[in-house]
Amino acid sequence: MKINRILSTAGVCQMDSRKLRSYCNLMQGSLTEKWLFADDFVDSHVCFVRDDYLHTMNKSSLEKAQIVIIVRMSNSVLEGYEYQISTPLSASKIKNVLNKISESVEFEPLILNEKKPQKTANKFKNAFKKIRNNIFRIKKPDNFAIKSKKKQAFLTQITQSLKPDELPPYKIVLLGSPGSGKTTAIQSASSKKALNSDVSATDSVAGQKPQTTVGIDYAEIKVTGIHPSKNRKLKLIGTPGQIKFNFIWDMVGKNADAFIVLLDMSRPEPLSYLKFFLKFLHSEIGNSTLKYCALTHCDKYPGHINSLIECIESEYPTLKGIYRLDARNKTDICTLLSDIYPQIENDTNQQNNKNNIRNITNFISIGSS
């Protein structure tokens, strides 16, 4: 069993804090220990601190962490700190430094939720209160009744928030090359601000766009009107387009209900990207029959889109649908999702029926033996 460790993100900005949480949650299987997060300077095993924040921090705040990991905003290495990583933060950098610390550092035990010693004045006050209650026979309030009332109110609140009529969400994963419109499509579909992990591009992608996704984009969308009394949510997860982040494709693709490959028509030989992603889904994921293709940036395609769609249909018959998509247009995204939803539901029902038949068959075979 993995040991729980406390990781503080108080020394980095809010965006880097979200990235650290997202990456560690995605990489739980590959991390040596389980990291629990704190947003403040508390007693912790590890604390991430930006180098440009060091001069504004109290020494006492840094001393609360047993190990300080410096997040360098520049290329210069700071003396006196053994563990350092450079920006932009990536999953591989975080995994390497945390696993290295887990293997080489013997942490001192943390005393969590430690009660502070009671002051002398408080001891005298409590003792006097006891004597007064005994002499004047002042009845104590029924603490048990108060606690029961609070507990009942808490349970009522939790029960109402759970909404048992709400169905579990379906998971849809978006794949595609950098700039194909995954982040924009998720932002357009979401009524609230979607979670994203965009950072300034520093490699070859910088020539195509100023920012690129290094983690995941995430949004939840409600689908109404299909069930009269129930709402079904769709979880939209956008993946980074660069091949060096393909381990994220594999992690978020597990147990997905559907995949949408966004095909950037402004790229030369766009069909080669479709072939690449479908091959990855077949060889690495292999757990979904619902695969869709969405053509983006169609205005920049030099040929005839309809002819290309016919070619895709004949060459890739396993695709459940091919769509022309403007990632900035919410109507386009909602139309695509409303077409996908009933197919996911039908596929899920068929799979459940197969599992039920298999369980009954196994039960009969066990009973007959």
> What is the average per-residue pLDDT within 35-48?
90
Asked if 87 and 70 count as a contact pair (C-beta separation under 8 A), the reply is no
Position 213 scores a pLDDT of 58
Q: How many helices (H) and strands (E) does the chain have?
A: 10, 13
Position 210 scores a pLDDT of 56
Least confidently predicted of 99-113, 189-203, 263-277, 351-365: 351-365
The average confidence (pLDDT) of the chain is 79
Position 198 scores a pLDDT of 56
Boundaries of every domain in the chain: 4-104, 168-352
Residue 98 pLDDT grade (very low, low, confident, very high; cuts 50, 70, 90) = very high
> What is the average per-residue pLDDT within 111-137?
57
Query: Which structure tokens are listed for 210?
Result: 């100023």
Q: Which residue has the higher pLDDT, 163 or 92?
A: 92
Position 218 scores a pLDDT of 87
298-354 pLDDT tens trace: 999 988 999 999 999 999 998 999 999 999 998 898 889 888 888 888 887 777 666
Position 67 scores a pLDDT of 94
Least confidently predicted of 125-139, 223-237, 280-294: 125-139
**What is the 3 state secondary structure string of 49-106?**
EEHHHHHHCCHHHHHCEEEEEEEECCCCCCCCCCEEEECCCCHHHHHHHHHHHHHHCC
Least confidently predicted of 1-10, 69-78, 305-314, 346-355: 346-355
Q: How many CA atoms lie within 13 A of 329 on its CB side?
A: 9
For the CA atoms of the chain, what is the radius of gyration? 27
Domains 4-104 and 168-352 equal at CATH topology level: yes
Helix (H) or strand (E) holding 258: strand 258-264
3-class DSSP assignment, residue 315: helix
Residue 150 pLDDT grade (very low, low, confident, very high; cuts 50, 70, 90) = confident
What is the DSSP-derived secondary structure letter of residue 108?
P
pTM, two decimal places: 0.50
Bridge partners (DSSP) of residue 258 are 172
Position 114 scores a pLDDT of 45
Position 295 pLDDT exceeds 90? yes
CATH number for the domain running over 4-104: 3.40.50.2300
CATH for 168-352 (1.10.3720.10, 3.40.50.300, 2.30.110.10, 3.90.1150.10): 3.40.50.300
> What is the average per-residue pLDDT within 37-44?
88
> What is the average per-residue pLDDT within 223-241?
70
